[in-house]
């Protein structure tokens, strides 16, 4: 079966541009997570959805970051007025929903802000 | 605040040697501990998940142990192969939810 997919895989943006990153979770997975991974570091939590409800956005680094999951499946992470420090890999993960469950990760979107 | 540390940051071994990767965490109130593998330019692949009530979990050549009281987990990979070369990450869910806190990873190179 299909895993978690993300698009685009690579994105180059000029500083100040807005970008939108898409995540298609595994069908039927209730929970969806976004993480940010800087070069050479482990992923860091950004935000969490349970179905369409955004239950935790404590990891979003600024109000330029916005995420949505309007129908409880596909999610979009939007970054407004991108800055160079936003350059990172953005990973999406989904799980069935229980705290005991494994999270399944997509391949990530590599964002480079020039 | 939970902090997860992985030492060493990088490891190079000849093929056939056993690998020992360490993970430590500061808050022992965890639901489980997960080990992931990450290949360059790729996402994370789940290797093992140890429930908080378990002491170890095995899958093929991989064995992971968990000592909650001391805040440590160890991933053992037996008889390493060049295909085991990757970055290995451990992660724990925050007690109040299931977002993961990751260590910085151990980058492993297995030389043929």
User: Cβ of B49: how many Cβ atoms within 10 Å?
Assistant: 20
* pLDDT given at position B96: 44
For residue B75, count other CB atoms closer than 10 A to its CB: 23
Query: What is the average per-residue pLDDT within A69-78?
Result: 96
Is any Cβ of chain A less than 8 angstroms from the Cβ of B47?
A: no
Indicate yes or no: CB of A99 within 8 angstroms of CB of B97.
yes
pLDDT of residue A87: 97
The predicted pLDDT at position A99 comes to: 56
Work out the mean pLDDT of chain B and round it to a whole number. Answer: 93
pLDDT of A2: 81
Q: For A106, which of B43, B46, B105 is closest by C-beta distance?
A: B43
Per-residue pLDDT tens digits for A12-70: 999 999 999 999 999 999 999 999 999 989 999 999 999 999 999 999 999 999 999 99
**What is the distance, to the nearest Å, from the Cα of residue B5 to the centroid of all Cα atoms in its chain?**
10
B71 touches chain A (CB under 8 A): no
Q: Which residues pair with A91 in a beta bridge?
A: A35
SS3 state of residue B39: coil
Backbone angles phi, psi at A96, to 5 degrees: -60, -30
Q: Does B98 touch chain A (CB under 8 A)?
A: yes
> Is the per-residue pLDDT at B43 higher than 90?
no
- pLDDT per position as a tens digit, B72-100: 999 999 999 999 999 999 999 875 457 89
For residue A41, give how far its alpha carbon lies from the nearest alpha carbon of chain B (Å).
Answer: 5
How far is the C-alpha of B3 from the C-alpha of A9, rounded, in Å? 30
Chain A contacts of B44, Cβ < 8 Å?
43, 91, 93, 105
Owner of token pair 């805040």 = B71
Contact residues, chain B, for A95 at CB < 8 Å: 98
Residue A102 confidence class, pLDDT cut points 50, 70, 90: confident
Task: Please give the Cα distance from B7 to B106 (Å, whole number).
Answer: 7
> Does the CB of B76 have a partner CB in chain A at under 8 Å?
no
Higher pLDDT, A64 or B28: A64
Max Cα separation, chain A? 40
Cβ pair A103:B51 closer than 8 A? no
pLDDT above 80 for B46: yes
Q: Are B64 and B76 in contact (CB under 8 A)?
A: yes
Q: Tokens representing A89?
A: 């890999």
* Strand residues in chain A grouped as ranges (E): 5-7, 10-13, 19-24, 31-37, 44-50, 53-56, 65-68, 75-79, 88-95, 104-105, 109-113
Least confident of A58-67, A78-87, A89-98, B84-93: A89-98
- B28 pLDDT higher than 60: yes
Place of tokens 């895989």: A9
Q: What is the DSSP letter of A103?
A: P
CB contact under 8 A, A104 and B97: no
Distance from the B83 Cα atom to the nearest Cα atom in chain A, whole angstroms: 19
């Amino acid at each position: 079966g299909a895993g978690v997919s993300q698009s685009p895989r690579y994105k180059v943006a000029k500083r100040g541009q807005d970008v939108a990153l898409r995540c298609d979770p595994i069908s039927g997975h209730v929970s969806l997570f976004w993480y940010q991974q800087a070069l050479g570091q482990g992923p860091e939590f950004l935000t969490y959805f349970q179905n369409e409800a955004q239950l935790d956005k404590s990891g979003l680094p600024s109000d330029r970051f916005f995420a949505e999951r309007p129908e409880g499946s596909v999610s979009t992470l939007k970054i407004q007025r991108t800055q160079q420090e936003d350059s990172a890999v953005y990973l999406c993960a989904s799980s069935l929903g229980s705290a005991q469950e494994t999270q399944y990760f997509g391949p990530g979107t590599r964002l480079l802000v020039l | 605040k939970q902090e997860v540390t992985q030492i060493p940051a990088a490891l190079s071994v000849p093929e056939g040697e056993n690998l020992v990767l360490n993970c430590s965490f500061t808050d022992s109130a965890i639901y489980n501990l997960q080990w992931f593998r990450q290949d360059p330019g790729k996402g994370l692949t789940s290797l093992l998940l140890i429930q908080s009530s378990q002491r170890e979990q095995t899958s093929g050549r991989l064995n992971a142990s968990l000592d909650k009281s001391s805040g440590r987990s160890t991933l053992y990979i037996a008889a390493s192969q060049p295909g085991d070369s990757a970055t290995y990450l451990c992660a724990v869910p925050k007690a109040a939810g299931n977002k993961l806190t990751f260590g910085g990873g151990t980058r492993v190179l297995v030389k043929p």
